[in-house]
Homo-oligomer: A and B are copies of this chain.
Amino acid sequence: MTNSSGRLPRLEDVAELAGVSHQTVSRVINDHPNVSKGTRERVEAAIAELGYRRNTAARSLVTRRSQTIGVLASELAQYGPANTLLGVEQAARDAGYFVSIAALRTVSREAILDTVRHFLDQAVDGIVVIVPHSETLLALAEVKPGVPVVAVGSLGNAAVGGAMVDQRRGAELAVRHLVDQGHRRIGHVAGPQDWIDGVARAEGWSAALRAAGLDDDLLVVGDWSAGSGYDIGRKLAGERAATALFVGNDQMALGLLRAFNEAGVRVPQDVSVVGFDDQPESGYFTPPLTTVRQDFEELGRRCMDIMLGGIEGGQSIGTTVVEPELVVRQSTSAPA
């Protein structure tokens, strides 16, 4: 810990103190096999005494690796992406990687390419993309970053790894729950159709209905926000075409609940509502929301598993799917 020279200690200083060459110290730090036990202990003692820490810049200059993962994200203020980031960060740091982030303010091909370049300037060892728009994959296909890329929320492709929650399965869970309760007219308040999840949930809803021999003609599209859920809710309260609604996310469901409450439509007596995500607040809506839970942190962790496989192995990049889970609360019941 004592630092007489005012300069940070380097390999050479440790070597001198331990009475070995700098190369031997390097071997100790990097866990190379051929170092005798005694030497290793002497070196480790010297490292501890000087409080030596390896200079990352020098290391990455020669190895051409930065021990850094770049996370390219949009919508970071949202529950899902934020928790995915948390999962990625945890797994990355556990694996000895730094995590660099860049938030996309607008999602466009240009912005994505720009940010990838930003990361390449930093010589990241891999890029995790948390941008749930469909066009992301297209933009990614265009750039050849030369490092592994894993896209969250997609199955990826030959060049890009993927980690996703099975959205169609989640939609199916929600619809089946409603069908089981006796509903026959089940509508869907979808997310924007340029979002991967927006499309997947709508498809899942549609497929599950058709599998049950029911019509899938009651579809409205929102923008994920509580505000759009509110607007749609006002409209739907007037029509009353469906006895149950599968809503694309919990926030829209919140707005919808608010609109129904204002309009005197009772949930679940008049209309049943199922959300998607299971945010921490969803159990405290009025009424508490039946919804589909996604484990975002797990998603982030899996994402890093794939990434590490891609970095270390170098072989073709993988894919993983996380299963969603239905959480039944009080916003659903049998139709009147």
Contact = CB atoms under 8 A, between A and B. Distances in A.
Interface of A: 53-58, 60-61, 66, 68, 76-77, 79, 82-83, 85-86, 89-90, 93, 98-103, 105, 117-118, 120-123, 225-227, 229-230, 251, 254-255, 257-258, 261, 280-281, 283-286, 288
Q: How many subunits of this chain does the assembly comprise?
A: 2
Given A53-B121, A57-B61, A261 B286 contact: yes
Top 7 closest A-B pairs, CB basis? A226-B284, A57-B61, A57-B60, A258-B284, A286-B286, A255-B284, A77-B82
Contact of A61 (B55, B85, B251): B55
B53 A57 contact: no
A106 to B, nearest CB: 12
A24 B26 CA distance: 35
Contacts of A56: 66, 121-123
19 contacts: A53-B121, A54-B121, A55-B123, A57-B57, A57-B60, A57-B123, A68-B100, A77-B79, A77-B83, A86-B103, A98-B122, A99-B100, A100-B100, A226-B283, A226-B284, A227-B283, A254-B281, A257-B284, A258-B288
Contact of A284 (B79, B100, B123, B227): B227
B229 A284 contact: yes
The secondary-structure label for the interface of chain A is: helix
A118 B93 contact: yes
Most buried by B among A61, A79, A118, A288: A61
A81 to B, nearest CB: 9
